[in-house]
Amino acid sequence: MLCFMSPTMNRFSCCRETLAKTTSALKPDPQEDEENPGKDENDGEDGEPKNPPAENPPAGQDDGETKEGGKTEGGTEDEEEPDKDKDGKEDGEPKNPPAENPPAGQDDDSTKAGGETEGGTEDEEKPDKDKNTEADTVQGTNPVDTARPAYEIIDGGIAVLDLPSAENAVIVPPNLLAFVQREQLGMALDLPAGSVVFGKTAVENIARYAGNRNITVTVEPVGQTEADRWEVYRLTISGADSGLMTDFGGNVQVSLPYPLKENERPNAVVVSYISEDGGLLPMPDSRYEDGHAVFTTTHFSEYRIGCHPVAFRDVQNHWAQDVIERAAAHDLVSGCGDGTFAPDANVTRAEFVQMMNNVLSLPAVPADGRVYSDVASGDWFCFSVSAAKQAGLLNGLGTDEFYPNRPVTRRETALILANAARLRNAQIDPAELFAETQAECVTRAQAVQIQTALLEAVNELN
């Protein structure tokens, strides 16, 4: 079975690795010159430096030529001429002149590369800068702005952004959004009223929408419904002057706080999308996890959270009780009409296709299009079978007759699942679902288990 990654920021348990890697200058060993008093490696055989300075070398240069650290090869020049400039020029001008005139009396304790003196005292007085204040260089990218907020990468390629929140909103700057898009990462944000994780496809579309503008992500509670007192939240994304973005074209996982009320069961917690006309559509993968209602969506709007328990007399203490009751609470399956579910009865081909369509929400086909000779327009399964046929879900099952009331076999189930996985670019292994059974036909309880696996697969972040 596939597993969901909880999107709540303060509940990430994956191994973390810091993405930004700070570069710092390599500092020379302060004892190097004392231990190796021989010829400087930059000096050529004729005594001239391999990398000559910008100006002419000082007059009178001989075998006691001044080295970079201010010492001579013989180690005597600084003792005889302690006030002489470290670069060995008689006129006092350094070989590599600084922006300003050097301080008077500079001797062999002159500053080396990286800001350290030969005596090793400057770094004691001025410790190294904090690495986080340097202009970090991210592998494969241009240097990142030093003012950028912190972020970490967790398993799954998700960038967890550490951004300040005001009220119920977080502002994402365009340079950070562009970086996440360029690195092909998902993006996770933690807000006071909940958390959201945008998949890679959603991030790409949000970046196109934002352009060079900030985006504001808002998650805010707006009260309760009057009839049943369900909690209502509003989720939005907006740009400075481009209005609201509602459809992301990719998956977004949302986590909203929901403390269970008395007698409420976790498998009955349902999140429903509230349409503009007030209609309700259950989010099929919504679930309860650690005090939060978690669901996957492709658009922002208003959502309500509540409990919708459904029970069947004949599934109490059944191995599939939890998954059956959860599917029924989300209107993914229905019972036999008399308070039972018949979990161990074989599921028919028509019932199985209906269950798959409840997850995939396949587009409708023309009402007059008859795809099988034994499927009439008035049959309760006509819409689902026609939509499944049109989408390619039934490829390989024959072309003339469907046999809707015949029990579906494991082979047929695996074929339909493989077609569904290709249709939605999902990863699912049908063989894993049947590892514990050798029966030829599939029971209703097994069909719900397969439906749940497909539901999780198509709602993975992408």
Single pTM value for the model: 0.66
User: Quick check: 67 and 73 in contact, CB under 8 A?
Assistant: yes
Q: Which residue in this structure is represented by tokens 């015949």?
A: 406
Give the pairing of strands 158-161 and 186-191: parallel
Q: How far apart are alpha carbons 133 and 122 in whole angstroms? A: 20
Residue 160 has pLDDT above 60, yes or no: yes
Would you state the pLDDT for residue 78?
44
Amino acid identity for residue 36 in this structure: N
What length is written for the chain? 462
Please, is 109 exposed, middle or buried when counting C-beta atoms within 10 Å of its C-beta (0-12, 13-18, 19+)? middle
- The answer to whether residue 138 scores a pLDDT higher than 70 is no
Lowest mean pLDDT among 90-94, 237-241, 340-344: 90-94
User: Is residue 339 within 8 Å of residue 313, measured between CB atoms?
Assistant: yes
The per-residue pLDDT for 119 is 42
In this prediction, residues 202-230 reach a mean pLDDT of 89
Return the percentage of the chain with pLDDT > 90, whole number.
Answer: 49
pLDDT of 224: 84
Phi, psi angles (nearest 5°) of residue 387: -65, -40
Per-chain mean pLDDT for the chain: 75
Cβ atoms of 110 and 86 within 8 Å: the answer is: yes
| Predicted local distance difference test score (pLDDT) of residue 305 | 96
> How far, in Å, CA of 141 to CA of 134, rounded?
16
Contact 157, 182 (CB under 8 A): no
Is pLDDT above 90 for 356?
Answer: yes
The CA distance from 71 to 49, in Å, is 15
Ramachandran angles phi, psi of 115, nearest 5° = 90, 5
Judged against a pLDDT cut of 60, whether residue 150 lies above it is answered with yes
Confidence of residue 436 (pLDDT cuts 50, 70, 90): low
Token digits of residue 3: 């597993």
* pLDDT class of 246 with cuts at 50, 70, 90: confident
Tell me whether residue 417 is exposed, middle or buried, using C-beta atoms within 10 angstroms of its C-beta: 0 to 12, 13 to 18, 19 or more.
buried
Q: Taking residues 192-215, what's their average pLDDT?
A: 93
- Mean pLDDT of the region 282-306: 94
What is the set of domains in the chain, with CATH numbers? Answer: 9-16+151-307 (2.60.220), 320-458 (no CATH)
Average pLDDT on 68-92 reads 43
How far, in Å, are 262, 263, 271, 322, 447 from residue 309 at the CA level?
13, 10, 13, 11, 20
